[in-house]
Amino acid sequence: MDNPNLQASLKVNIESIKSCTNGSDDLIVREFRIGSGRAERDIAILYFDGLTDERSINQFIMEPLMQYGHLQGDRSDSKENHLLDRLKNSVLTVGQIREVDRFEWASDSLMNGSIVVMLDGYLTGLSISMAGWEQRAVSEPTNQTVIRGPKEAFTENITVNTALIRRIIKDPRLTLKNRKIGKVTKTNVSIMYIAGIADEEALKEVNKRLEAIDTDSILESGYIEEFIQEESYTIFPTVQNTERPDSVAASLLEGRIAILIDGTPHVLLVPALFVQFFQAAEDYYQRADISTLIRVLRYFGLFIATLVPSLYIAITTYQQEMLPTQLLISLAAQREGVPFPAFIEALIMEATYEILREAGVRMPRAVGQAVSIVGTLVIGQAAVEAGIISASMIIVVSITAISSYVIPEFDMSIAVRILRFIFMGLAAAFGMFGVFVGMSLLLLHLSNLRSFGVPYMAPVGPINIGDQKDVILRVPHNSMNTRPSMFSKLNPIRQRRARNKGK
Amino acid sequence: MMIRKLVSLLLAISLVLPLAGCWDRRELNELAISVAMGIDKSGSQYQVTVQVVQPGEVAMQKGGSEGMTPVTLYKAEGTTIFEAIRKMTTVSSRKIYAAHLRIIVIGEELAREGIGDALDILSRDYELRSDSFLLIAKGTTAAHTLGILTPLEKIPANKIYESIQTSEKVWAPVISVTLDKFINDIESKGKNPVISGIKVSGSNEKGGSLGNMKTTQPAVSIQNNGLAVFRKDRLIGWLNQEDSKGYNYILNNIVSTVGHVDCPHGGQVALEVIHSEAQIKSSFQNGRPRLAVELRTEQNVGEVKCQIDLTDMQVIRELEQQAEQVLQGILEHLLEVSQKKYKSDFIGFGNALHRSNPGEWRSLKTDWDEIFEDAETDVTVKVKIKRTGTVTNSFMEERE
């Protein structure tokens, strides 16, 4: 296109926009005339089929234009834009309306589900937001379910998602900043934070990292996550994602920053610390004492999921003296006739389990039952009875598999799964010594990580006594007087000392 | 560049695995888990017997027992015990794994000749635990003792181990002596060691077959029996049940036990000791060591076999005096056995003297055993009867 600006000739303009979209057949162009006599004009409305709400176009654009358009406007009007202004100000009964004078903008707004109105003889057109396409309704979360608590989850539509958050936090300080990322997909990405609570430095850092993304497509939050996460390599997630508006609201109130991406129900939260991957939304909705107990259980689950197979391998192949005699004898009895070393045995079972798990996620729903039946046979009795695997190994693998799902955040349980194999290798080669060296290295690595400037292990390392209220403990709400200090020092007071004790 | 460096570093690290790893890796089914070791004399050589568990027979699984014995014995002879143990691989398919050794049994014959040399490997080898129980096979060989199968506990070594543990808590004459405790005693100049004895009772042929376990009254059984007294590392004699009891009283090994006293007019009263505290007080008087034992016990009336009025404080006081006399007798007899019969300070008066008079001890310690023989002794016993059970007087008494 030679000239980026709209021309006076309607025909030229339409042709230009058509060529701009390579003559795609779903671009609808409706041409008609408005006005009468000397004021008669050619007018065209353009939109993409399926991206717009056809009924609203008929009702709020076509109808007013055809019925009232001829009453107003006069070619002799001194002001060139007069007719267009009239249309904009008193004819079109729509909310979001904007003038465009460049083809690029016009085609952009078409892509986003707007319609473009162009009038012959004018150098500007109108872009009217009338997006309306088929979309999924707000439904229950599929991954982060709760027994007690709100049961709505984000959808693929970013405006619905921001509305879900705004409905929870009704405060003018809740701020939303939009940007488009992806040269081809032009995906809407929004940053949400509460001004005055979120840390300015972290905010700058988030903006800087988003700014630096230079790619042609953002299809899911995972793309953004990988672009903005810390540079040093780690298997641990340093960006959290959630599909629960209430979790996002809670994080915003703690001074964190949410990144919403159009087209995915997963919202990113930064900074994300180790302990946060063990906090579930429900912890705050049920009694504090049971939440604390369950937190302890989760960390115990973490221990089991990471270390139990490796400890089993280490103890049964190197440090048999650590077992009580009776246990040693019964384990030895189970291993009689098992042809593989314990490490290979564990690898076989872990691999079998991982295959089953992956198959369970990927397979078509219809064959699910067949897979689970075969799976239970393989992982269960048959392997033991055939004498290939010892019964105790089945127990170890099963408890490990279940324990990894006690961790509320999926990203963390993936990290734990990877760790498990590393530790198994260390245990097979070096016994308990290997396991402990591995643990020391793991601890060093974790202490070395940061998420958007915040130490990953905070508030445990560096320790902060005041912030322990929400790590392993979940103290009652009337004692949570301050916000966690690791994210932001602004506005630390959540509530004054509780007087509202139901007296 | 960075990535290439990282990859080559990872490759180098992965090379460590086959290099350094796995050298002492043993799968569970490559182990011959030995739970008891017996050491005997065989000419100028040691005969070592090892009781190895057959896991499949002990931990019953579906379709399990094929009628094999739960344990099997491996024997080998060698000039040193280490050689003998290694030699066992000529008969055993698996290497003997000794970390779970529960008991070490020493034949009486070897014990009389001295066991110091034999115990060296047991304290030196890293695989062995020093908390396994040391026992003397009274009047027989260790090999014979370990060959007896026992009911209730499938593994005979476990039976012996558990029965000592249970017994020492509720029955005064029994005490467990672990390997490290024995070595400690040998090392100290002021105490000679003792070791519990076990005895095989019953006819000898059937003890090693499953048949022994298939009757309600096994023909052969293993029994804890008295304490073996040592001078240095040599067995010099046995304490009978009463003396063993006295030994445990003095060394404060009593958790609970039962004894009896005679009633004034015939019959007996059984008294349960619920608390016992003894102190050894050695001192010097006129250049001669004076060894004092003070014992304080609390007891309950456990069983009444005579006609007395337990509601009367006077009667209780008489019972207390009776009990004091009985205990006094036991302790004095033990001291006499120790001083006159065995001439061995296995009670540890020397150590007590070392603590109270370190200066004098230095000149005495070289020939302590001779001085000990003539030392003056003094025993005081204090008994308190606390409770009489859920009834006061015997119902037979109430009837009169």
**Which residues in B lie closer than 8 A to residue A425 (C-beta atoms)?**
17
How many alpha carbons lie under 13 Å from residue A485 in its C-beta half-sphere? 12
Over the stretch B287-317, which tens digit does the pLDDT of each residue have?
A: 788 888 999 999 998 888 888 888 888 888 9
Find the range with the poorest average confidence among A177-191, A241-255, B12-26, B156-170. Answer: B12-26
Decide which of B13 and A102 is more confident.
A102
Note down the domain range covering B389.
240-400
Q: Which of B239, B260, B289 is the last residue of a domain?
A: B239
In a domain, B277, yes or no: yes
Task: Collect all residues from A whose CB is shorter than 8 A from any CB in B.
Answer: 316-318, 320-321, 325, 328-338, 341-342, 425, 428-431, 434
Q: Cβ(B195)–Cβ(B39) under 8 Å?
A: no
Of B17, B20, B33, the CB nearest to A329: B33
Is residue B191 included in any domain, yes or no?
A: yes
Nearest by CB to residue B27, choosing from A317, A330, A430, is: A317
pLDDT in tens, B37-88: 999 988 889 999 999 998 888 876 555 556 778 888 999 999 999 999 889 8
Cis bond leading into A459, ω under 30°?
yes
A120 and A184, same structural domain?
Answer: no
Residue A479 lies in a domain: no
Same domain, A439 and A303: yes
Q: Is residue B199 part of a domain?
A: yes
Angle, CA of A125, A130 and A132, to the nearest 5°? 150
Q: Does B56 touch chain A (CB under 8 A)?
A: yes
The answer on B338 and B364 residing in a single domain is yes
A245 and A178 share a domain? yes
Q: Which residues pair with B224 in a beta bridge?
A: B198
Q: Are residues B72 and B159 in the same domain?
A: yes
Residue A496 counted as domain residue: no
**Partner-chain contact B100 A317, CB within 8 Å:** no
Whether the CB-CB separation of A41 and A83 falls below 8 Å is answered with yes
CATH of the domain at B363: 3.30.300.210
Q: Are residues B38 and B87 in the same domain?
A: yes
A261, part of any domain = yes
Is residue B184 located within the same domain as residue B251?
A: no
The reply to whether A320 and A399 lie within a common domain is yes
Q: Are residues B268 and B223 in the same domain?
A: no
B294 contacts B380 by C-beta, under 8 angstroms: yes
Q: Tell whether B171 and B316 lie within a shared domain.
A: no
The answer, yes or no, to whether residue A89 has pLDDT greater than 90, is no
The answer to whether residue A307 is domain-embedded is yes
- The whole-angstrom separation of Cα A71 and Cα B237 is 132
Taking alpha carbons only, the member of A36, A46, A40 closest to residue A6 is A46
> Could you tell me if A439 and A323 lie in one domain?
yes
Cβ–Cβ gap A332/B20 under 8 Å: no
Same domain, B181 and B295: no
Alpha carbon of B128: minimum distance to chain A alpha carbons (Å): 9
**Model confidence over A218-274: pLDDT tens digits?**
999 999 999 998 877 889 999 999 999 999 999 999 999 999 999 999 999 999 999
DSSP summary character for residue B287: T
What is the pLDDT, as a whole number, of residue A70?
57
Hey, which residues does A100 pair with through a beta bridge? Answer: A125
Q: Same domain for B287 and B362?
A: yes
pLDDT at B400: 66
Q: Which residue in A316, A320, A332 is closest to B55 by CB distance? A: A332
Domain co-membership, B246 together with B193: no
- 3-class DSSP state of B64: coil
Are the CB atoms for A18 and A136 separated by under 8 Å?
A: no
Contacts of B142 by beta carbon, 8 Å cutoff, 6+ apart: B38, B39, B40, B49, B105, B106, B107, B110
pLDDT confidence of residue A1: 47
The answer, for B17 touching chain A at a CB cutoff of 8 Å, is: yes
Asked if residue B289 is part of any domain, the answer here is yes
Beta-carbon separation of B21 and A428 below 8 A: yes
Lowest-confidence range among A97-111, A167-181, A243-257, A414-428? A97-111
- Provide the domain count of chain B: 2
Whether B129 contacts chain A with CB within 8 A: yes
Do A423 and A303 sit in the same domain of this protein? yes
Residue B309 lies inside a defined structural domain of this protein: yes
Q: Is residue B20 part of a domain?
A: no
Residues A216 and A267 in one domain: yes
**Residue B187 to residues B151, B237, B329, Cα–Cα distance (Å):** 38, 20, 31
Burial of A4 (C-beta count, 10 Å sphere; 0-12/13-18/19+) = exposed
| Confidence at residue A213, expressed as pLDDT on a 0 to 100 scale | 92
Question: Are both B202 and B63 inside the same structural domain?
Answer: yes
What residues in B contact A329, CB-CB < 8 Å?
33, 53, 55, 58-59, 155
Specify if B54 maps to a domain: yes
Report yes or no: A244 and A187 within 8 Å, Cβ to Cβ: no
Residue B180: enclosing H or E segment and its boundaries? helix B179-187
For residue A321, the chain B residue with the least C-alpha distance is B99
Domain boundary pick from A413, A429, A455: A455
| Same domain? B265 vs B192 | no
Taking the Cβ of residue B66 and every Cβ of chain A, the question of whether any pair is shorter than 8 Å is answered with no
- pLDDT over threshold 80, residue A134: no
Domain assignment present for residue B19? The answer is: no
Q: Name the closest residue on chain B to residue A324, using Cα atoms.
A: B100
pLDDT tens for A163-177 read 999 999 999 999 999
Structure tokens at B160: 């012996």
Distance, in Å, from the CA atom of A229 to the CA atom of A18, rounded to the nearest integer, reads 40
Q: Cβ–Cβ contacts within 10 Å for residue A316, how many?
A: 30
Domain limit, last residue, from A439, A455, A471? A455
Domain count, chain A: 3
With CB atoms and an 8 Å threshold, state whether A328 touches B28. yes
Range of the domain at A59: 10-129
Residue B380 vs residues A38, A265, B245, B292, B332: alpha-carbon distances, Å: 137, 86, 16, 8, 10
Residue that terminates a domain, selected from B214, B239, B264:
B239
Least confident of A273-282, B150-159, B200-209: B200-209
CB contact under 8 A, A329 and B24: no
Tell me which of B239, B267, B282 is where a domain ends: B239
A268 and A292 part of one domain: no
Backbone angles phi, psi at B303, to 5 degrees: -155, 135
**Residue A396 in domain:** yes
The Cα diameter of chain A in Å comes to: 107
- Structure token digits, residue A348: 């076989």
Tell me which chain A residues have a C-beta less than 8 angstroms from the C-beta of B158.
325
Q: Give A69's pLDDT tier (boundaries 50, 70, 90).
A: low
For residue A87, what is the DSSP state?
I
A302 and A207 in a common domain: no
**CB interface of B with A, residues 145-174, below 8 Å:** 155, 158
The reply to whether residue A333 touches residue B61, judged by beta carbons under 8 angstroms, is: yes
- Chain A residues within 8 A of B127 when measuring between CB atoms: 321
- Subunit contact A325:B25, Cβ cutoff 8 A: no
Looking at the structure, do residues A35 and A85 belong to the same domain, yes or no? yes
- On whether both A326 and A444 belong to a single domain, the answer is yes
- Angle (CA) B365 B369 B372, round 5°: 95
Kindly state whether residues A86 and A197 are assigned to the same domain.
Answer: no
Burial group, residue A45, by CB count within 10 angstroms (0-12, 13-18, 19+)? buried
The answer to whether the beta carbons of residues B254 and B273 sit under 8 Å apart is yes
Same domain, yes or no, for B258 and B332? yes
pLDDT of residue A5 exceeding 90: no
- Collapsed DSSP state (helix, strand, coil) of residue A234: coil
Give the Cα separation of B400 and B379 in Å (integer): 40
